[in-house]
Amino acid sequence: MLAKVLTCALIGLEGAIVEVEVDVARGLPSLTIVGLPNATVKESSERVRSAITNSGLRYPLARLTVNLAPADLRKEGSAYDLPIAVGILAASEQLFPPDERALIIGELSLDGSVRHVNGVLPMASLARSEGITALYVSSQDAPEAALVEGLTVYPVDSLRSLVSHLQGLEVIPPCDLRPGLDADAEPSYEIDLQDIKGQEHAKRALEVAAAGGHHTLMVGPPGAGKTLLARAMPGILPHLTVEEALDVTRVYSVADMLPSDTPLIRHRPFRAPHHTISHAGLVGGGRWPRPGEISLAHRGVLFLDELPEFDSRSLETLRQPLEGQRQVTISRALGALTFPANFMLIAAMNPCPCGYYGDPVRECTCSTSVVSRYQRRISGPLLDRFDIHVEVPRVDYDKLTDERLGEPSAAVRERVEAAREGQRQRFAGTSLTSNADMGPAEVRQFCAVDEGGKSLLRAAMQQLQMSARAYHRILKMARTIADLASSECIETPHLAEAIQYRPRRQM
């Protein structure tokens, strides 16, 4: 007898429906799995047999063939255990399989309990778009799957309980719809701008960066507060919308990094990998490709502290997602995979190896050649991708011991949100999300400047020896500064502030 059950495969962040066909035929007892299974899927046969017998069910003593279709799609992981087990029980006439509008996903342990698998959210999204109406997943994964609207999600504890459900003996109550989505608790962030003393210039630069999504490089001596400033960044960015939160959660689901207490990630990601991180760890990859830090920072902040210490090859591969594409493509033997990587880059560095080059108080002990070699570790094209270059000088004693608090992050965030709202309207119907994403055509359309502004730009172009790219960057940044001031037109002061954020020294 032949039985069919549907389940789901995962390719990068995308799901794909897989049909599990089980045939029970007379012959020597055996189980063969065909359809490009990898080693973990092949091992499924052992887990399935034990799980079936240990659940008090009958494992057919017959020649079993399991076909995973489509046959040309590589099958990885352990999520096929549960559908294979249900297929075997159906083919041996112990139950009726669920109808063709249901997906079954789950790993089995030997005692028949159902375990967590990665990537349930993208699988559930796919199921919804393919017209599937019911989903059977482990109880642990059920809240995550239930984030997708319009699906009935059944939390399954064990093979035994699923069998009782399908036999109509004991029905599993479906999971509540869309848990956590309406929880309007404000996310809290560890560092508030009001606790950072002085550094008004750097704080303003971060506000502009947050308002327009501009990549930012901070340069300054050790202990000036660069790391502290970067950590305050998520707190001044707008809260994630539900769609953005689902986007972020998809990535974390595939990376198996969802926190156990909540199905939905509501905090803007802040990723701060150490400079010893591997290439694959930063951009993604590995034998079973996992999203790298740049994808884990999707819709949030990637903070690269001590930028020159990072492997230069890895830094150069950041250039593609930093501009235009906003995603990363990982090629491997079986075709390319794409992960989203729309992040804001914040980087920090000392001006030289000892850290005090240009410091008014402490003398720098590095020779000129050492300083320039250090600064040359960041290539020109990469440096050029930072819209904002900001110097973070040491804070003097009086400022540091000042008891008065600065402006809280929440107040800054309000201005940022207003500026972002304007951009949302400006870019409605396009794929652009912020001013930093504008290409030359949009710059022409939205960044007109008056005569006074033009002459200021002409002078700056000559004095700072700016490239065409730098010229566009200034216009985009001036647009953001004008947005923060709720100004329809870009005025000369907006341009003047934008020009300030170009690197002063030729690095």
Ligand X SMILES: Nc1ncnc2c1ncn2[C@@H]1O[C@H](COP(=O)(O)OP(=O)(O)O)[C@@H](O)[C@H]1O
Residues near ligand X, by CB under 6 A: 196-199, 220, 222-228, 348, 395, 400
Is the bond preceding 70 in cis, omega lying within 30 degrees of 0?
Answer: yes
Residues 166-205 that bind Mg ion (CB under 5 A): none
Q: Is the dihedral of CA 303, 306, 309, 313 positive or negative?
A: positive
Name the residue number minimizing CB distance to Mg ion. 227
By beta carbon distance, the residue nearest ligand X is 225
Residue 139 and residue 171 in contact, taking contact as beta carbons nearer than 8 Å: no
Give the residue with the Cβ less far from ligand X, 180 or 198. 198
Residue 50 binds to Mg ion (criterion: CB under 5 A): no
Among residues 226 and 420, whose Cβ is nearest to ligand X?
A: 226
Work out what residue 197 binds among ligand X, Mg ion, none; the CB cut-off runs from 5 to 8 Å by kind.
ligand X
Asked if residues 276 and 305 have their Cβ atoms less than 8 Å apart, the reply is: no
228 binds, among ligand X, Mg ion, none (CB under 5 to 8 A by kind): ligand X
Residues 6+ positions from 500 with CB-CB distance below 8 Å: none
Which among ligand X, Mg ion, none contacts residue 292 (Cβ within 5 to 8 A by kind)?
Answer: none
- Per CB under 5 A, 227 contacts Mg ion: yes
User: Which region, judged by CB under 5 A, interacts with Mg ion, from 75-83, 107-115, 136-144, 226-234?
Assistant: 226-234
DSSP 148: S
Least distance (Å) between residue 361 CB and Mg ion: 18
Quote the least distance from Cβ 391 to ligand X, whole Å: 11
Q: How far is the CB of 20 from Mg ion (least distance, A)?
A: 52
To the nearest whole angstrom, how small is the minimum distance from the Cβ of residue 305 to Mg ion?
Answer: 5
Return the structure tokens found at 244.
Answer: 């953005």
Binding region for Mg ion (CB under 5 A) out of 47-55, 121-129, 221-229, 379-387 = 221-229
Least Cα distance to 378 among 464, 318, 327, 466 occurs for 318
User: In this structure, what token pair is assigned to residue 24?
Assistant: 């029970």
Q: Residue 74's closest CA among 101, 47, 109, 39?
A: 39
Choose the one of Mg ion, ligand X, none that binds residue 395, judging by a C-beta under 5 to 8 angstroms depending on kind: ligand X
Q: How far is the CB of 306 from ligand X (least distance, A)?
A: 9
Nearest approach, Cβ of residue 228 and ligand X (Å): 4
Minimum gap (Å) between residue 227 Cβ and ligand X = 3
Which tokens in the block code for residue 497?
């502030």
DSSP H helix total and E strand total for the chain: 20, 18
- The dihedrals phi and psi of 88, each to the nearest 5 degrees, come to -65, -45
User: DSSP string covering 93-108, please?
Assistant: TSSPPP-TTEEE--EE
What distance in Å separates the CA atoms of residue 293 and residue 174, rounded to the nearest whole number?
Answer: 35
Which residues bind to Mg ion, rule: CB under 5 A?
227
